Structure 1
């Protein structure tokens, strides 16, 4: 109800996609950094990824909360000036408060969720369930699937070509891999 009242569905979806994408790309960067330096250590990859995802989560929550709150309060104050009345105890003000917190939570949790999913193969390698080489392969495949899925989701929202949008996101992830391999050759 509150999301519809403020027409906030679009911004919440954008926060989820953009920050999920950031989480995936951060893990991909950590994996490629490990590869480039010839120090592929699953504990480092998991630890660095979790540390980065926590930092992105806190940054995302605070940044989104403060930004959304400021924008939404401005809208309320503009409306109050137009209506010559206070909206402090209104359903609209409640909606602003709830949607602001919801946006901040989505902004915080999306990169953490996608980072943790992306790094799971390395958790299995730490537990000696799979080999490090297999963890690397599964992580790259998993990241590729996640990136393609985010693109496909955007295509469905905009009623565009799923394959095209999926490939846009996938190519962006593969670009990090190509740059990583190129740097590894140079170093």
Structure 2
């Protein structure tokens, strides 16, 4: 049984590593944008450091739970359909096979990757707590976002384009947070 599970794990990683990478990038992107938005708003509202920490962490936890549920719902449906299609092609049930186990393991891996990656947003909080510089925090967060863009699939030109778009997203989120916070 353990050999079958190990082989299923390897099959899952081989077949879905692009999907796992995508979920990590998406979750980290969400976590960083939430962290920087909440952090900026809290700092501009002159909240205390303990309050800032709790609000940012709370926001990241909210994104984590959302990511987990969304991924589970989507991946369970997708993997069930993939298994059903494979069963139709093979003209037999695959319950208890490596295919069945690899689809289940894939659901777990994608859910974990999308659920845990929003915690990358803690980097923004740590930068702010270390430097007390909101400008440096925004800049480093935007640079990290662009780094995530480079991790996406595609050729170098596509990666650079995605990196620029993600950098801009960080700046836009920051500017909107400032605008909202300073205009009651």
Q: Pick one of 102, 107, 125 that aligns with 1:100.
A: 107
> TM-score normalized by structure 2?
0.82
Gaps of 5+ in 1: 125-129
CA distance in 1, matches of 2:59, 2:178: 22
In structure 2, relative to structure 1, the CA distance for the partners of 1:55 and 1:184 (3 Å cut) is closer
Counterparts of residues 9-158 of structure 1 (less than 5 Å) = 9-36=17-44, 38-112=45-119, 114-124=120-130, 132=132, 134=133, 136-154=134-152, 157-158=153-154
Contact 1:28 1:143 in 2 (8 A): yes
Gaps of 5+ in 2: 1-9
Deviates more, 1:115-124 or 1:16-25: 115-124
Q: CA deviation at 1:123?
A: 4.1
> TM-score normalized by structure 1?
0.81
Q: Deviations over 1:58-114 (max 9, x none)?
A: 2222321232122101211232233221101211111111111000000101102x1
CA distance in 2, matches of 1:147, 1:169: 5
Secondary structure at 1:158 match in 2: coil
CA distance in 1, matches of 2:172, 2:46: 21
Count of residues paired in the alignment: 174
- Cα RMSD of the aligned pairs, angstroms, is 2.2
* Counterpart for residue 165 of structure 2: 168
